[in-house]
Chain A
Amino acid sequence: MRFELSDDQALLRGTTRDFLAAEFTLERTRRFVENGAEGHDRTGWSRLAEMGYLGLTTPVDAGGQGLGAIELAVVLEEMGRMCVPGPYLDAVLAAAVLAAAGGQEALLAELHAGTKLVTIAREDAPFAGSAASPPRLEGKRVRGSKYFVPFAADADALLVTTADGVCLVSSPFETTPLPTIDPAQRFGAVTLEHAAVRLGPPTLLERPDQLAAVGAAAMLLGIMCKLLDTTLEYVRTRKTFGRPIGAFQALQHRLADMLLRIESTRSAVYRAAWSVDAGDAATALACAAAKAYAGDASRLVCGEAIQMHGGIGFTWELDVHLYFKRAKTLEQHYGATETQIERALAAAGL
């Protein structure tokens, strides 16, 4: 039994950290964020492709690296620390669906190479709880609307969830930008009236949904780790009433709570990732719990990071808000907390 990463996994962590520090600096993220009109970062994307990150979890015989959920968690935790913008997780999930469906080798190869961007169009309405019905696949055409489609304006193909499964459609798309509080993720609404290829039933999404939960939770973990580090540095140096604010018990206890949530998220994320790879009986429950818990934990940790920084924490200048906003996207997508709670209950047989 071993919780620590294997040597290969630890190596992946190290190379990913170095790679991101060189290629996806916070300055670069800032530029991306400040330039709202700019779309997908093609240069950064092709570097990710060159390094093999886009095919990370695709099986080797489908042209990928054949790595598992643990490796995905490692990469996304590092991306969370750097607040990397863009549709990385979205593309990995699309690749997982395409690989599982089979028969899409050419598109998968272009996805891995970074020459084509594919994401998954899931949301049927802009707000939760709406009675909107999913697009309908009739014959070889799909009709309907999708919201919060990741990088819809830049996507070359979309995987569209319908009432009875998943289908593939190709650009061009008629998209309306959906600007949100998170400038690192670009969303669009898409009106579909497209020729479509049916890929398979909803069960095609089972494993991708588990990867989504683990991946998003891992990125939340990285975000929380980074914000705790940043906050610790601040409370050790910022002085009020003649002492560092970190010496006040009112803050110390809350910082301890932040650590509790972060370390518990770490246990949950990597246990879930291991379960996916090992085909463990508790996989569904472990994945749902990890994502739901990470979402709740991120509210506390990211919120406290702003609060403890005081006025500067509320400024655009400080990077904390970039993480705070990215966390909210991750919390509400990739299976929102409510969805994960339902899955957890179902998986626990309750």
Chain B
Amino acid sequence: MDLHLSDRHLAFRDELRAWLTANLDRPWREHLRDPAATEDSLIELRRAWQNKLYRAGYLGMDWPAEWGGRGATEVEKSIFEAEIALADAPPILNILGIGLLGPALIHHGSEEQRRRFIPPMLSGEEIWCQGFSEPGSGSDLASLKTAAVLDGDHFVLNGQKVWTTFGPWADWIFVLARTDAKDRYGGISFILVKLDTPGVTVRRLRQITGESEFGEVFFEDVRAPRENLVGHVGEGWRIAMTVLAYERGAVALAYSAKYGRDLAQLAAACREIGRTDRACREKLGRLVVENEVMRANGIRVLANLADGRAPGPESSLEKLYWSEFDKRFRETALDLLGPGGQLLRESRFARADVDWAREFLWARAGTIYSGSSEIQKNIIGKRVLSLPQEA
């Protein structure tokens, strides 16, 4: 066992820290707390920040050199994510493009597709959203019905996608569409569609936070050029699943950095408002303990990546851990702060440290998106514990 970062990784981390010190002028939470901030202004801020990271060579680091890569691995990528979380930098805007579509194009796309789509994806010029979930197909994604029928040089799409994160701001969408009604998995294809194509309608959905980060996308006889098919017809499910597997990395490390910062703010708030009795200390202390265990999980994933090992069971458990913890954390924060924790940021009484009310509401999303907690537990039961399956 050795949990020290190697000299090479330490050097990378230090260089990144220095860059962040020089380039990050204001922590993200201050932008979020700014009463003048709007959803649009925050999106533009994130776009500008992403562009800065891109120009400094920090995006797509683990991809081939011609696409922004610099011989980095998932270890550097994980360190990068942990460090930007620690520095409280704005989250990367085009996370769905870079996190999911980028790897899909690199592994399954054509040379033309890579050349056309990767640079503007990394720079933030073109924002991507993900067209997977449908009104009737959430957890059972493979039952999706949005149809794509080949008509000459074009696919013609009809159907509806929903819970489309960044839909209202995106320029493009990558869609899982049904090209064969009879083949559940083999009848799904992976198609790129420009959102200003005639027949596409994007509608904002208002979330419980009041924001509209996600939306729904309707396709009515939408024509997408055949060259926008990624891989072959019928390969969509396989591509989506392999791409989701790239979405690993030591996210627990990044999350524990973020939660550690918010926990310090919460502890300071408790001292300030006089919540220092035993019961309050124990609530706070349990959160500290659970966050530290999350950090240990992250360190383990990172060490396994650095050691060239396939992630073990701790990797499939990561999402379940942080998303369930997030809910407990934000609930407890409101317990400790009292009704003042519910104040919206425009209130002059709201705390200036963290937007506790928004975080409290946001925490409800994490156990639903990207595979709900129930789906995660099904996967663990089946793939890790090999439990007998119902007939």
Contact = CB atoms under 8 A, between A and B. Distances in A.
B335 interface: no
B289 interface: yes
A274 B3 contact: yes
B380 A267 contact: no
Nearest to A264: B293
Nearest to B252: A267
Interface residues of A, number: 54
Contacts of A167: none
Nearest to A272: B296
B307 A286 contact: no
Contact of A271 (B281, B296, B390): B296
Given A247-B389, A263-B317, A274-B1, A348 B288 contact: yes
Interface in B282-310: 282, 284-286, 288-290, 292-297, 299-300, 302-304, 306-307, 309
B6 A256 contact: no
Nearest to B314: A263
A255 to B, nearest CB: 6
Contacts of B378: 249, 252-253
A210 to B, nearest CB: 14
A269 to B, nearest CB: 8
Contacts of A243: 388, 390-391
A338 B391 CA distance: 46
A293 interface: yes
A344 interface: yes
A263 B313 contact: yes
Contact of A267 (B297, B320, B377): B297
Given A9-B1, A289-B293, A344-B289, A235 B377 contact: no
Contacts of A265: 293
A280 B304 CA distance: 19
A220 B24 CA distance: 44
Contacts of A236: 387-388
Interface in A247-268: 247-249, 252-253, 255-257, 259-260, 263-268
Given A1-B6, A256-B385, A264 B306 contact: no
Interface string A66-99: 0000100000000000000000000000000000
B332 interface: no
Contacts of A260: 317, 320-321, 380
A2 B2 contact: yes
B319 to A, nearest CB: 10
Contact of B293 (A6, A253, A267, A350): A267
A3, A244, A288, A345 — most chain B CB neighbours (10 Å): A3
Nearest to A269: B296
A125 to B, nearest CB: 18
B294, B296, B385 — most chain A CB neighbours (10 Å): B296
A161 to B, nearest CB: 23
Contacts of A280: 3
Nearest to B302: A1
B81 to A, nearest CB: 16
A9 B312 CA distance: 19
Contact of B381 (A244, A252, A270, A271): A252
Contact of B300 (A3, A9, A248, A259): A3
B331 to A, nearest CB: 17
A1 B385 contact: no
A280 to B, nearest CB: 8
A3 B307 contact: yes
Interface residues of B, number: 52
Interface in B168-212: none
Nearest to B292: A289
Contacts of A244: 388
A241 to B, nearest CB: 11
Given A252-B378, A264-B296, A1 B4 contact: yes
A234 to B, nearest CB: 12
B72 to A, nearest CB: 15
A304 to B, nearest CB: 13
Contacts of B314: 263-264, 266-267
Interface string A192-225: 0000000000000000000000000000000000
A70 B2 CA distance: 11
B374 interface: yes
Nearest to B309: A4
Contacts of A341: 281-282, 285-286, 288-289
Given A1-B6, A2-B306, A289-B296, A256 B1 contact: no
B376 interface: yes
Contact of A5 (B1, B309, B387): B1
A278 B286 CA distance: 25
Given A3-B300, A243-B390, A255 B381 contact: yes
21 contacts: A1-B2, A1-B3, A2-B2, A3-B299, A3-B300, A4-B309, A246-B388, A255-B381, A256-B381, A259-B317, A259-B380, A259-B385, A264-B297, A266-B314, A271-B296, A288-B289, A289-B292, A292-B286, A340-B289, A345-B267, A350-B284
Given A4-B1, A247-B388, 11 more contacts: A2-B303, A247-B387, A249-B381, A259-B385, A260-B321, A271-B3, A274-B2, A285-B292, A288-B289, A341-B281, A350-B288
